[in-house]
Amino acid sequence: MKYRYETMFPHQLREVLSSKPIVYLPISPIEWHGEHLIFGTDAFRARKVLELVWDELGGVLFPTLFIGTDGTKIKDGEKLWGMEMFAEEKIPGCVFIQKDNLYNLLNDVLFFLEKTGFKMAVVCSGHMAKEQIEVIERLENEYSSRLMKVLGWHWGKVKYPEGLISANPMHAGIEESSEMMSIDLGYVDIDRIGSNNVDVKVGLTREALKNVNEKLGEKRLNYEAQCLIKEIKSLMNL
């Protein structure tokens, strides 16, 4: 029994709450991932992992929240966010919110999911900024003794076997690019790798990404989903 929250009828909600009261919440900001990847990379990645889990375990898939936070620093009077800090220049396209705002928004959403009757909310972030993870882990801890448990998830919790991770994983690198390619070939434009000075500045060159491939991405996402399934089964005694 599995439903998408936005297309679910009230009687279906009652059914799923009585049999599999799990809700999956993908969340990540709109963020620059080089010239070769779409801005929604992190959110689409998080949603794909949760879709794989949802297909196997059932429950309710919440609409993807395209929001998130990141670190900042001031340079020449300008606040730089996320990858802008490493490039040391403005990069158009990113949309972030303040860390406290992310906490308040997520906390409000989780409050209503708990009020509805869910027993577990799996919050999955494809965005690995320290500030983003801190918010999710804070909520996981705060809900540990409540009626609904929160399980915070991200790929940093996964110990990938040899062959599924490169020697130097990086933002928008081999791993993420391969994963996006496996989700939709239209989300990756290989010909544009390293075509902008900013890409080269942060290491996104053709040489660095020469091993990008669809099969690697598929294997990584499936492996992560199985790790998450194991964690959920353990916590819910399934």
Q: What is the pLDDT of residues 85-102, one digit of tens each?
A: 999 999 999 999 999 999
For residue 44, count CB atoms less than 10 angstroms from its CB and return exposed for 0-12, middle for 13-18, buried for 19 or more. buried
DSSP reduced 3-state for 107:
helix
Of 61-65, 104-108, 199-203, 234-238, which range is least confident? Answer: 234-238
What's the whole-number mean pLDDT along residues 53-69?
98
Q: What is the pLDDT of residues 139-189, one digit of tens each?
A: 999 999 999 999 999 999 999 999 999 888 899 999 999 999 999 999 999
Percent of the chain at pLDDT > 90 equals 97
Q: How much is the pTM?
A: 0.96
What's the whole-number mean pLDDT along residues 52-72?
98
d(C-alpha 80, C-alpha 136), whole Å: 23
d(C-alpha 212, C-alpha 138), whole Å: 34
What's the whole-number mean pLDDT along residues 32-58?
98
CATH topology of domain 2-236: Rossmann fold (3.40.50)
Neighbours of 35 (CB within 10 A): 16
What's the whole-number mean pLDDT along residues 128-136?
98
Q: In the chain, where are the structural domains located?
A: 2-236
pLDDT exceeds cutoff 80 at 219: yes
pLDDT exceeds cutoff 90 at 7: yes
pLDDT exceeds cutoff 90 at 130: yes
